[in-house]
Amino acid sequence: MKKKKIDFESGGWSGSCHLSALGLMETFFQFYDPATAKNVLAEMMAHSRKAKVLRKKNPSEIFHFYLALRSLVRAGYRMQFKTQKRKFQVPVAQVPASDLMLGSLSEEEYRNPILVLQKTFRKFTIRDFDSFLSDITCFSLGTFQKGPEGDTVTPFLRLNKILDAAQFIVERAAMVSDDEK
């Protein structure tokens, strides 16, 4: 039985087609640092409810970010099935005392960021995130009187958690590869 391969659809924004979820996450964070990604996502959410166009001078930046986020969601979906989850976990003793370091994650999710992906994709599908991202992108780049219909807050919060979890996964994977050298 052949394994189904998920197309991360990263060729349009990263310049190459990635075969691994971790590699795509690393590429995403080379383009966007976590704080910038969260700020752009928040701007998109805010402007999707306004009758103003986000980044009038260069709307292609928003479209590029949209493509990158779609790929990141697909990579997160693929990453949740990784069997080598242990390499992304942090020992209990290393959990920071500051809530700022945890980001939007709980202590348990910080210890094992794969939990964020598993919880998210139990509740939402890739198609749900595609719909959410296309809605907020479309409405933030146009001058519409009404914003997107339906729940946009829950997918927005989940996407913020995915960004935090992906950042920790990339950092910990780099720490594991440094330890192996």
Rounded Cα distance, 67 and 38, in Å: 15
Nearest to 28 by CA among 163, 174, 159: 163
Instruction: Please give the full DSSP string across 86-134, using - where no structure is assigned.
Output: GGG---GGG--S-HHHHTT--HHHHH-THHHHHHHHHH--HHHHHHHHH
Rounded Cα distance, 55 and 42, in Å: 13
Nearest to 8 by CA among 81, 19, 29, 79: 19
Which residue type sits at 54?
A: L
Rounded Cα distance, 112 and 102, in Å: 12
pLDDT, position 107: 83
pLDDT, position 177: 57
pLDDT, position 181: 46
Residues 28, 65: contact at Cβ < 8 Å?
no
**Residues of the chain whose pLDDT is less than 70?**
1-19, 83-102, 175-181
Tokens of 108: 């348990």
pLDDT, position 122: 94
* pLDDT tens per residue, range 12-65: 665 666 668 888 899 899 999 999 999 999 999 988 888 777 777 888 899 999
pLDDT, position 98: 61
Angle at 25 between CA 138 and CA 133, to 5 degrees: 15
